[in-house]
Amino acid sequence: MTLSASAQYPPQNFYVEPFPENLVRIFPLPPGFVEYTWPPIQLVYLGFYLTKLGCKTIVTESHYIDRDYIHEHSAFYSRSLRGYPNYCQRIHFFNAPFGEQEWRAFVTDVDHRVQSAKSLQDSYLGFIVVRPLPGSPIGRSVLVTYGNKTDSGLTRSFGPVRDYPVHLGGFDLTVRGLPFQQQDQGVSACATIALWSAIHNTAAKENLYVPTPAQITQAASRYVLSSGRSFPSEGLNLSQMCEGVRGAGLEPLVIHSVSVESDRFQLLSYLNSGLAPVLGIRSIDGGDGHAVCAVGLKLGNIAPQTDPDFHYLDAGSAVRAVYIHDDRLGPYASAEIGPWTLGNGHIATGLLIRWPDKDIMNEQSVLLWMLVPMPAKARVPISRMRILGLNLAQAAGELFPEFSKRITFDCSYRFASQYRRSATQLGLSAAGLYGLNCEIVLSRYVGVIELSIPEGPLFDVLLDATETRANPSAVAFVVRTEFPKKYVAQLGLVAKNTGARMFI
């Protein structure tokens, strides 16, 4: 008997239908015994989330090759007895209603191609990759974030998001967000997925290859295997996670939780810098630890100063909640931050993760540590920048009494080139503008300590981020719009004492 086989390319189909709100309807129950809750919480959450975004239409690609899943398939699923396909589906979401005929018109009407592209882009909410894995179908997914304001008037900020190109039916679209996916416990558990999300924006800034979850697990478990094997993955410990960050060409910075005030400030600073910390948390009910990726903040008013000896305000006190990618739930989940008293009397940083359905209890956890994937050339940590900023704000409040208990300090990393481009908006004189752009050498990343009052910014202190200590790394004081000219000479003395140049 002669066996022969002819390879055939599968057809590609696009299906257009109204958004069902309950996404479970388009995810059939897997056959046989299901050892997990069905439907998965992730599907329920995504239905709620997309409903809040006003989704009206979905367009499904029947055959999509996803880079992350194809690596998972090669490393693990291709060796299984069950014949897992090597391709996925991809579902796109739009907040404008249209049907099959309108979609065909978008694609085929050449005369209105520009208008069609704009219409699709203006209504595009992002995509979800659907893997052929019955227990964990949600693969690489990028959805837009919530708007800038909450219903109660608080401010939302999503620093680590970036634009992702999407090619759909001949159209080039973009979605601004940060990728999320479900852990599959084959090649990835929660720590791997949190790291994968956290690395995305930073790696892109450094022009580095973004590793897949399979590659992160392999790099993290290269030297230490807590469970004896890389795949199936039983999860990563903190040391392995640090190794996974190094494998991506970045440097791991571990920050152990110290106090609510410090944790709030560091979350604010790193997220505003476009860096996404991985948060190690543990439920107060006990059990194993869990890892999530912080992607945004919910901000209120800065708290007033209550200590009579302090003359400054802490920008971190405005942080009310952090938005997280939690692979048990979904993207951009809200976790309220506040003090939590443990049984031993220690006050920890509590995270109350808000589940979308009232029938699912909210989970109270405590923060154990943060792991920030850092660019190699950003060495001075926010914690040391904070100490210098605190001292500068205290000194300014004492030297300039009109600023006392009104001056706020904040810290972040910026590209030096980006800061210089923004210099035309800082209110500098021609000499100051030229000096900042052409008469001083700055590191690729600069640490920026910004001191401001409610009316606007007073001055910035630029730090050489390649140093490890903040105090000797000050290279420039940049006087901003709201700083009174009568105090320039005194500020010049402060700059001189720190070894920095002043630009007015």
**Closest by Cα among 61, 57, 56, 27 to 44:** 27
Q: How confident is the model at residue 225 (pLDDT cuts 50, 70, 90)?
A: low
Residues paired with residue 451 on neighbouring β-strands, in sequence order: 409, 459
What DSSP string runs through 457-494? EEEEEEEETTSS-SGGGEEEEEE-TTS-GGGHHHHHHH
pLDDT tens by residue, 26-48: 777 766 555 566 778 888 899 99
The pLDDT of residue 446 is above 90: yes
Tokens of 314: 């802490």
Cβ atoms 353, 324 nearer than 8 A: yes
Close Cβ partners of 33 (under 8 Å, ≥ 6 residues apart): none
> What pLDDT score does 259 carry?
94
Cβ atoms 407, 311 nearer than 8 A: yes
The pLDDT of residue 228 is above 70: no
Count other C-beta atoms under 10 Å from residue 152's C-beta: 8
Q: How confident is the model at residue 232 (pLDDT cuts 50, 70, 90)?
A: very low
Tokens of 487: 């105090």
> What pLDDT score does 31 carry?
65
Q: For 481, what's the count of Cα atoms within 13 Å in the CB-facing half-sphere?
A: 10
> What pLDDT score does 82 carry?
78
The pLDDT of residue 343 is above 70: yes
Close Cβ partners of 2 (under 8 Å, ≥ 6 residues apart): none
Rounded CA gap, 372 and 280, in Å?
Answer: 11
Cβ atoms 334, 362 nearer than 8 A: no
List the CATH code of the domain at 204-225+235-374. 3.90.70
According to DSSP, the β-strands at 138-143 and 312-314 are: unpaired
Cβ atoms 366, 348 nearer than 8 A: yes
Domain spans, the chain: 14-151+160-202, 204-225+235-374, 382-503
Rounded CA gap, 395 and 413, in Å?
Answer: 23
Tokens of 425: 């908006």
% of the chain with per-residue pLDDT over 70? 91
According to DSSP, the β-strands at 474-479 and 501-503 are: parallel
Q: How confident is the model at residue 357 (pLDDT cuts 50, 70, 90)?
A: low
Rounded CA gap, 105 and 112, in Å?
Answer: 9
Q: Which residue has the higher pLDDT, 221 or 350?
A: 350
Cβ atoms 305, 313 nearer than 8 A: yes
> What pLDDT score does 360 carry?
56
